[in-house]
Structure 1
């Protein structure tokens, strides 16, 4: 490690210690918990995402990386040195037995840290240093909504039926800034770009691992949206700066976006989720009617 880099690491650790001490003295609560997951194909670069989170103007109290034991049978010994270098008292790995794929980023954190702010992130993104601050500001303005950095707008046909996922307006506030700061059931959060969940916000059914495995194991965003709609929780876009900055080399053909979005799988998965939950009586009302919000049409005209 070069001297300048070593000094930068030491300075960052001092800043983190100072921030946490000030929050403890000020009885800061809820805490800010950043939660993410990874898997073997990306474990060599996940440290870059973590370092960008440690460079935030508003620091998290804790970053938790959820890993499945079956992916790394030798636990820490299977992790690259560049990841072990960033593990410290406020950055830790948690090991789980159940491989819930991308759902690992929220599944245990929302339950264990239920009194705190949980911010979900992905392992393949570099986060601008205002991300956490933007989310907290949006939450303060709209405390009963889920605040998200990257959001889509659910679209409808002239007859009132919902369009296919691929026909929604991706990153809608980037093109229509008037959508920023407007809570709506029609706004769809993509959780890995940075999404803040206030304490105790998600319903108990969110943690039904059996239904997740049956209907949407690779589509956490869809599952969480349906749970939000079930509980009547709107989403608010925290910023119009919605375009993603990927860690170089992480967007190969294995990326879930290729499978779920480009091939139309999301439409099949959403139908399966809704059918299963309606059959169980968990979701009794019509999903399309619950998310419809014609008032937003004027903001995208």
Structure 2
């Protein structure tokens, strides 16, 4: 291993250990009520190959400075049958485990929307560290910007001179300032808060997202936000993503390049533009 790579690996391992220590220090830490005008849930999904690194993420989410009404882990029946004992034991800390159809990454929000859209739903990924005040910042953002979707991390959608959306790789990535707008695109990895009924009613149409963008849930949720006339408010500050060891062995990255020369996100953007129009302004659904 060359010195530069060794040093990066060393720093990453130190960050991971610091995060694990932080999680342990949160045990029995008091949590404030969220104070929102509707129930608040944290919703995520996982699958069996990710189970070895799932425990610390769930502990992060259960040990926040603000207490949600529920933390729900959505699993397919096949994956639930393989759930490790230490994950099941987190029910003692308040974890809810629920079964749903295997809609891949969409499981983190679609069954929660189907269950009750009149809640604040915060989505999280299953493979990263979340700070102690992660949820508190999203909740405060929701109070200060009512009706907006709130994100810890966002990109800015870029457009071509023709008016079409530029390739995803050309978007302005990981914005470091607070801003809202129709072109602010929330990225799910760092957590996103969806207020009650902020997503269009088409959001739960499983046949649509499975055919148009089966591996691009962030793209789908952005379109459904805009289709409903809502905007994203980004909290600002470049988000640092700390992934757990081994969690990225299994990912969707291998699916992001197709024989048509487009990345997975670009194929999804093209398909959703055909189906629903461009997201820059309030859109009209096609019959």
TM-score range, shorter chain: 0.7 to 0.9
Determine the C-alpha separation between the residues in 1 that align with 2:49 and 2:236: 30
SS in structure 2 at match of 1:269: helix
Q: 1:219 aligns with which of 216, 219, 244?
A: 216
Are residue 267 (structure 1) and residue 270 (structure 2) matched?
no
SS in structure 2 at match of 1:108: helix
Mark the CA change 1:186 to 1:40 in structure 2 (over 3 Å): closer, same or farther.
same
CA deviation vs aligned residue, 1:62-100 (integer Å, no higher than 9, x gap): 11000001334xx3xx2112212212362111011x210
Q: Which runs of 5+ in 2 are unaligned?
A: 1-19, 283-287
Are the equivalent residues in 2 in contact too, given 1:53–1:59 (CA < 8 A)? no
Mark the CA change 1:117 to 1:272 in structure 2 (over 3 Å): closer, same or farther.
same
Q: Structure 1 residue 168: deviation in Å?
A: 0.7
Are the equivalent residues in 1 in contact too, given 2:113–2:204 (CA < 8 A)? no
Match of 2:15 in 1: none
Instruction: Provide the alpha-carbon RMSD of the alignment.
Output: 2.6
Matches within 5 A, 1:1-301: 12=27, 15=30, 23=33, 29-72=37-80, 75=81, 78-88=82-92, 90-96=94-100, 98-173=101-176, 177=177, 180=178, 182-252=179-249, 254-257=250-253, 259-260=255-256, 264-275=263-274, 277=275, 283=276, 286-287=277-278, 289-290=280-281
Report how many aligned residue pairs link the two structures. Answer: 258
Determine the C-alpha separation between the residues in 2 that align with 1:141 and 1:259: 38
Are the equivalent residues in 1 in contact too, given 2:62–2:94 (CA < 8 A)? no
Determine the C-alpha separation between the residues in 1 that align with 2:235 and 2:280: 25
SS in structure 2 at match of 1:118: strand
Are the equivalent residues in 2 in contact too, given 1:44–1:82 (CA < 8 A)? no
Are the equivalent residues in 1 in contact too, given 2:29–2:63 (CA < 8 A)? no
CA deviation vs aligned residue, 1:211-251 (integer Å, no higher than 9, x gap): 11112121110111111111111001023141211122111
Are the equivalent residues in 1 in contact too, given 2:154–2:184 (CA < 8 A)? yes
Determine the C-alpha separation between the residues in 1 that align with 2:256 and 2:26: 41
Q: Structure 1 residue 160: deviation in Å?
A: 4.0
SS in structure 2 at match of 1:137: helix
Determine the C-alpha separation between the residues in 1 that align with 2:238 and 2:132: 12
Are the equivalent residues in 2 in contact too, given 1:148–1:196 (CA < 8 A)? yes
Normalised to the residue count of structure 2, the TM-score between the two structures is 0.81
